Structure 1
Amino acid sequence: MTTQFPVIDRRVISMRWGDMDAVGHLNNTYYFRYLEQVRIEWLQSLGYGIEPDAIGPVLASTSCTFRKQLTYPATLEITIELEKLGRSSLKLRHHFYRQDDPGTVYASAEVMLVWVDYKAEKSVPIPDPIREAILQAAPQA
């Protein structure tokens, strides 16, 4: 597995039978659900779950390029890679791999997160512990 951006985390997801579409491969909407799940798990591992009365990330943009179909059964490894770390925004790349085929990228995605005060609906700086965890995982950032 080689990536262009520093990998700050990796997460594993097992595909479910019901995640497939009518032609037998992973439904395109589930790529985005899986991305959401790996980001939420990553943030929770840093001690920052989503709390509606606090601050946290909102999704500013996302895209996914489907390279090779994913079929059930499969255990996927999805990377979280740092593309850009801003004051209040974080641009991430993700790559989807099958654990039984780790050299093949099945999909790649890009996500822009912006930290906000949910009640005030204004951007805020990314919390220092998250910034420090990112910089520790990707010191060249």
Structure 2
Amino acid sequence: MNPVFRMDADVRWRDMDAFGHVNNAAFLGYVEEARVQWFKSLSSDWAAETSAPIMAAVTMNYRRPIVWPETLTVELLAERVGNKSLTLAHRIVSAGDPSVVYGDGNTVLVWVDRAGQSVVLPEGVRAACSL
């Protein structure tokens, strides 16, 4: 499975917790930022269209602690493309050594219209997942 999107991110000092490593919630923030950047790369008005993705489920496996300073690479991979939903796998690795995996998992996204009804995936998203 090849990544549909990659994003580098510097660990911020404020991401750390009292134990001197990145707080678990920041892992999800890195993945969220990668998803938003990917959507923006597909369509400049992705959040203003007639439909938008909502998160139905998320998993994160914490493989090892991240400490500051570090530059991360967040990879998104199309794990499953359904009619109205998309499962994106994610991996957080060291940008300097991609064999160092900090976390992985997946996110299930469902496309809904402004009334909250599920709708068919946008063609641009479907096309980006088949690369």
Shorter chain as denominator, the TM-score bin is over 0.9
State the 4+ residue runs in structure 1 displaced beyond 6 angstroms.
Answer: none
Q: Does 1:45 align with 2:49?
A: no
Q: CA deviation at 1:102?
A: 1.4
2: CA distance, partners of 1:99 / 1:120: 40
Per-residue CA deviation, residues 89-112 of structure 1 (Å, 9 max, x unaligned), is 000111111112211211102100
Match of 2:125 in 1: 130
Matches within 5 A, 1:105-116: 105-116=101-112
1:75 equivalent in structure 2: 71
Structure 2 SS opposite 1:130: helix
Residue 68 of structure 2: SS of its match in structure 1?
coil
> What 5-or-longer segments of structure 2 have no aligned partner?
none
Matched position secondary structure for 1:36:
helix
| Contact 1:8–1:134 (Cα < 8 Å) also in 2 | yes
TM-score by length of 2: 0.94
Percent identity over the alignment is 34
- Aligned alpha-carbon RMSD (Å): 1.2
State which of 50, 66, 91 in structure 1 corresponds to 2:87.
91
Q: Gapped runs of 5+ residues in structure 1?
A: none
Aligned with 1:123: secondary structure? Answer: coil
Distance in 2 (alpha carbons) for counterparts of 1:98 and 1:49: 29
Residue 6 in structure 1 maps to residue 5 in structure 2: no
Do residues 16 (structure 1) and 12 (structure 2) align?
A: yes
